[in-house]
Amino acid sequence: MFVHLTREEEDALDEKHGQAVSIAYKILLSIGKATNAERLIPVDWVHLSGVNYNTIGDAGVKFLTKNSEEMRFLVPTTINPMGYDSHKQNNLSNNFKRQQMEIVKAYDKMGSIPSFSCIPYELFQLPDRGHNVSFAESNAAVMANSVFGLHTNKESSLSALASAVTGKAPYSDLRIRSIRDPKIKIKIETELNTELDYGILGYFSGKSIKESCVSFGPEISNIDIYKSKSLAAALGTSGVCGMFSNKEINGNNISFGKEEEKSVMDELNTTESGDVIALGSPQLGMHELELLSNMIDGKKFSKKCMIFCPRSLYEKASNSGIAQILENAGGSLICDACTCLSPLLTHEEYDGVITNSVKAAHYLNKSSGVSVCLTDLRSIIRKYTR
Amino acid sequence: MSYSLRCRVIVGGKARGSILVTKQPINFLSSVDHLTGMITDKNHELYGEFVKDHVLVFPYAVGSSVGAYSIFALKSNGVSPSGIICTSRTDITTASGCAIANIPLLELCGDQDIAEIQNYNEAIVDGISGILQIKKV
């Protein structure tokens, strides 16, 4: 099968609309071939990853700076967190901050919405269910498909960038309705209570399957957004699966029980405690900030605590008094950034990080080289506040 | 001794190099050092190996969407694989990263070929005809 391009798309690929647009079509063509697309279709919203200097490095800065001269976004485009909160004191190097700001400038020039958030679905009025979008950032792609009924593949930073520049994406994989029907089920054979339990389920499932859509059965029908986010983020971290569903299917089951739970914990829970608590990967939404402030109930954190959330929600939380409750408890609310691959959480500074995020645990252990104490939120509050 | 396998061309171009093969997926953001090209994930069977100038054969990339930039960074830093073969389903991260980094990328249909490839140590990737030639030298 080959990707059929229209005359206009062929022209764009042949640099008739400039080199940068041609690069975008070259990307779309490669992912179209990879996913067996017959053609390109329009998308109504794009969410980009590849904003944190810690992840894209100097090569990424150079690529974006150069292409921002020509590339312009044709559809609303939100962007992921960057490396730090520029409104707060930090001891990051001048080079880090300078390079980070080059990235911010490049995205701004191309026309992005400066969201610096991995949870655009909690901040913006996204297109209605059934619409095609292009979401990089694995948790956002999985949430868009599974909870908000949008149609996206599990895009990469570069493929979503190509969609922003062209307004198009390949018609393939999870954009095709039949593929959105799960063909494989993870059979839950243990009790799931906390958001961490759902994260562990997601991490195990991503590792175990190579299908694009997975069923967890009706057991997950009524889970709240905190649990959905934990599940989506972990699923997106360990595998290629871009969607979960509660549709029941017959046959093709993989069991998830105590033993499978333990195998994930053995891999990611690498220390008994830590010197800092990090909450927010994905960033915390309003519901979670409220939940946290209720749990704290006037107590104070006994350890340093970083709470990552979008700036617009921080402002809302400040107006409603929730931010003050968290700050009075000793929590530090950090905006525009996230636990994952933040230069604020390094092994030079911390021996261990306490978190309830399976996604954060993966990246802290494997990329940042920081040990992780993986604990659910309720237990964190019980153990580390007084 | 040499052997040819027919593949699907995802990103064109030609490459050759010694074979680095694994049955495990790779997270390019969390598991490969962008400056040295070393596989840094202690739980990965290629832990400690360098991808530089190799023809990397693996099922597909997993995890972070930023992995596409990681592939581009490996190339920019001069430590990337010379060619890449996905053996299961070519993922969007690998395809888009290779497209920008100009790394030839082929898809081999079927995991069963990995066992065969493990018996060889040199590969020639032809991203025009779609032929992967593997040799024992």
- Which band of pLDDT confidence, cut at 50, 70 and 90, is reported for residue B1? confident
> Is the model's pLDDT at A127 over the cut of 70?
yes
- If you average pLDDT over residues A178-199, what whole number do you get? 97
CB pairs under 8 A between A and B: 143
What are chain B's domains?
A: 2-135 (3.50.30.10)
Question: Is A347 within 8 Å of chain B by CB?
Answer: no
- Which band of pLDDT confidence, cut at 50, 70 and 90, is reported for residue B110? low
Average pLDDT in chain A: 97
Which residues of B are known to be catalytic?
64
Q: Which pLDDT value is given to residue B112?
A: 62
A 123-162 near B (Cβ less than 8 A): 136-138, 141, 153-160, 162
Q: Which pLDDT value is given to residue B86?
A: 96
For strands A168-170 and A40-42, give the pairing. Answer: antiparallel
> Is the model's pLDDT at A74 over the cut of 90?
yes
Neighbour-count burial for B102-136, b at 16+ CB within 10 Å, e otherwise: ebbbbbbeeeebbeebeebeebbbbbeebebebbe
The per-residue pLDDT for range B47-100, each reduced to its tens digit, is: 999 999 999 999 999 989 999 999 999 999 999 999 999 998 899 999 999 999
Contact call for residues A187 and A214 (beta carbons, < 8 A):
no
Q: Which pLDDT value is given to residue B116?
A: 82
DSSP structure class, residue A343: T
Cis peptide before A282 (omega within 30 of 0): yes
Q: Which pLDDT value is given to residue B115?
A: 79
For an interface test with A, which of B28, B41, B65 has the most A Cβ atoms less than 10 Å from its Cβ?
B65
> Is the model's pLDDT at B119 over the cut of 70?
yes
Share of chain B above pLDDT 90, in %: 84
The per-residue pLDDT for range A216-227, each reduced to its tens digit, is: 999 999 999 999
> Is the model's pLDDT at A320 over the cut of 60?
yes
Q: Look up the ipTM and state it.
A: 0.96
CB distance B73–A138 less than 8 Å?
no
Q: Show me where the domains of chain A are located.
A: 7-138+151-167, 181-266, 270-384
Topology given in CATH for the domain delimited by A270-384? Aconitase; domain 3 (3.30.499)
- If you average pLDDT over residues A85-108, what whole number do you get? 96
> Is the model's pLDDT at A181 over the cut of 80?
yes
Q: Which pLDDT value is given to residue B2?
A: 87
